[in-house]
Amino acid sequence: MKFFFIFLILLFLHQNQDGNYIREAEKLIENNQLREAVKKLEKIIENDRKNPEAFYLLGETYRRLGTLNDRLNSSRALKEALKLDPENTKYLLSYGLLKKRQGFKAEAEYTFKKIVKIDSTFSEAYHQLGLMHYKKAIKYRDMVSAGGLISMSEFGIEENEKARNYFKKALQYNKKNDEILFHLGLLYLDDRNWNKMAELFKKAIKLNPENKQAHLFLGYALQKLGEFKESEVEYKIAKKLMSKDELNALESINILLNDSERENLIFAGENAGELYWKQRTPSFLEGYNERKIEHYSRFAYVNLRFGDPEKGLTGWKTDRGEVFLRYGEPLKVTRTRAEVKSPSVEIWDYGSVSFVFEDEFMNGNYRLTDDSKLTLESVRNEVTEFFVSSFDKRKIGFFRLFSTSRGQKGKTNLDIFFEIPVDSSIIDNLDENFQFFIDRGVFIFDDRWNKISEKRGSESFYLDSWKITEGYASAITSVRMVLDSGLYNVVGEFQDWKRLISGSFKEKVRMPDYSSRDYLAMSDLILGVQPENYLKEFNSDLDFFPRPSLIFDRKKPIELYFEVYNLMIGAENKTKFNLKSSITLIPEKTNIFNKILGKMWNIIRKDKRKISLTNTFNFEGKDRTEKIYLSFFVDELIPGKYLFSIELTDNFSNRSVSKSRKIILF
């Protein structure tokens, strides 16, 4: 009996010692001292070959070391652990992950299925099964046979459904597992089910508000739903939660720049990114940069789609990631199945250009072929964008007219007139007046795109329905900006929410200096018509409606307004000046034969219509500054393009100044 108690004490001490060794090994593993952990565990096993936990930890440690020889050692150790405890789900999971890493997919799948038979609530086993079917779905989704005759997409759909069911099962038993959420999110992405994707990541954020990846991918889903403001909010939150390196990767524009852009942005220094995105803002009126949001979404997509942590792949650093970041989603993707002598090939078709990627090493990391590398280099400076914003999709053509004049305190006024067409398709009831609303804005930047000023506003317009249905009608609106003289980038935009249309322009405008009191000067010419098929009200000091299109009906008079500055006052405290107006046909480019033929035809039919009109006017005034209104009847002119010119001569100073506009008569 005495010896039996001694045996039990020794056994207890031995087990306790092994337990201490295992805890020491676990501590080494936790500190990533894997080789030291291997030595410690091998010592435990040497003393006790019936310790399944030691074999399991040894197998796990070898698996994490990851070399080919280590994986073989891992397999042997895990098999020993399973011999001792064949239904231990923890050991089985490690063994399944090892087999998956070694490429023995059938054995890995069998192992994961065995786990859920033992424990139907084991979330990670469902997750791994979902991943395996998802990889098959990706493989088959866009695949065709090498000859292009057989599509594998049906297999992809089937595998997709299996993956979805496994991921949902995994999530059922572990709602806080980020990886499961992201992989299920990928499936919704593949299905283009943005509502489900957004719903999924909203749940993830509710569970963990500081989950930066969930905010990033929610931003992506919201962008796809067209909820750009909400998307921008999520991206801003994600950025706050990112490390410095992660943020630098997200904000980097190096991949996007071509040679000329890179050269032009050198002066911007640290502000290059801000300047780059500002120049590409589809709409300043909307208050967010849809193109920049698109970039963030592309970044989220490539990391979700082309990244593989197990293989050390970062999505945006891959060849496919680079092309996607630059050009976005292809119009079509085709993937061929690998053959004995040829790797799997993926073709991205953008319409005007295509890129070919090869999976040369059969590891899923498709790389650009040599020919496609050359293609990318050649088009980099030619094709900068395939992106079309939602604002641009609604854009219609409209006319605008810039007019500069003297402002107060040495400033220059810039009047911008918008002419927005209206047609009968928008009329609900032809017996009533039609009302619609326009938001419009003008944004002024210097030559380096630093914002100088902006003006936003909303206007409502009323038109008589019969006037619209009779012919052309348009809404006229204007904005006045007050600026110093110099060169500016001017952006103008409007949104018509009733018709869901928009318009914009970006132009460089040079503001003249009217501040001098010594030299004769003239404002720009404003040409227009008396109101008829136009809006009933136009908020302007003008006596007529400006016509930004500069297209006029010959049967109706053309109205003119301009200002003249610094007239000389004579002995009688009066100013005297004369005006010479000329409206001259701009000859079209045609050959001599056609010119002769045209003249002969005019002689035969005795056409008395003219190709030019000239008038002179004499004025007297009391002020050095004059505001001039004139009307011109042009019914004698033939249809065509004309140069409308005004030359003003000061009779006392003998100085002259002139301005002109190109117009069209019909």
Residue 269: the pLDDT is 77
Beta bridge mates, 419: 399, 476
Cα separation, 351 vs 386, whole angstroms: 10
Q: Do the Cβ atoms of 166 and 357 come closer than 8 Å? A: no
Split at pLDDT 50, 70, 90, the class of 31 is confident
Residue-range domains of the chain with CATH: 1-120 (1.25.40.10), 395-515 (2.60.40.10), 516-666 (2.60.40.3880)
Q: What is the pLDDT of residues 642-655, one digit of tens each?
A: 999 999 999 999 99
Residue 235: the pLDDT is 96
Q: Do the Cβ atoms of 252 and 232 come closer than 8 Å? A: no
Query: How, if at all, do strands 526-529 and 640-650 pair?
Result: unpaired
Least confident of 131-140, 282-291, 370-379, 592-601: 592-601
Question: What would the two tokens of residue 435 be?
Answer: 């009302």
Looking at the predicted structure, is the pLDDT value of residue 479 above 70? yes
Q: Do the Cβ atoms of 420 and 494 come closer than 8 Å? A: yes
Split at pLDDT 50, 70, 90, the class of 608 is low
Q: Side chain identity at 286, as an amino acid letter?
A: E
Residue 30: the pLDDT is 83
Residue 135: the pLDDT is 82
User: Mind spelling out the 3-state secondary structure of 279-301?
Assistant: HCCCCCCCCCCHHHHHHHHHHHH
Taking the C-alpha atoms of 391, 394, 396 and 401 in order, what is their torsion angle to the nearest 10 degrees? -30
Q: What is the pLDDT of residues 232-273, one digit of tens each?
A: 999 999 999 999 999 999 999 988 888 888 887 877 777 888
Question: What would the two tokens of residue 478 be?
Answer: 């204007």
Higher local confidence (pLDDT), 466 or 646: 646
Query: Which residues contact residue 83 at a Cβ distance below 8 angstroms, ignoring those fewer than 6 apart?
Result: none
Split at pLDDT 50, 70, 90, the class of 381 is confident
Looking at the predicted structure, is the pLDDT value of residue 595 above 70? no
Least confident of 37-41, 170-174, 400-404: 37-41
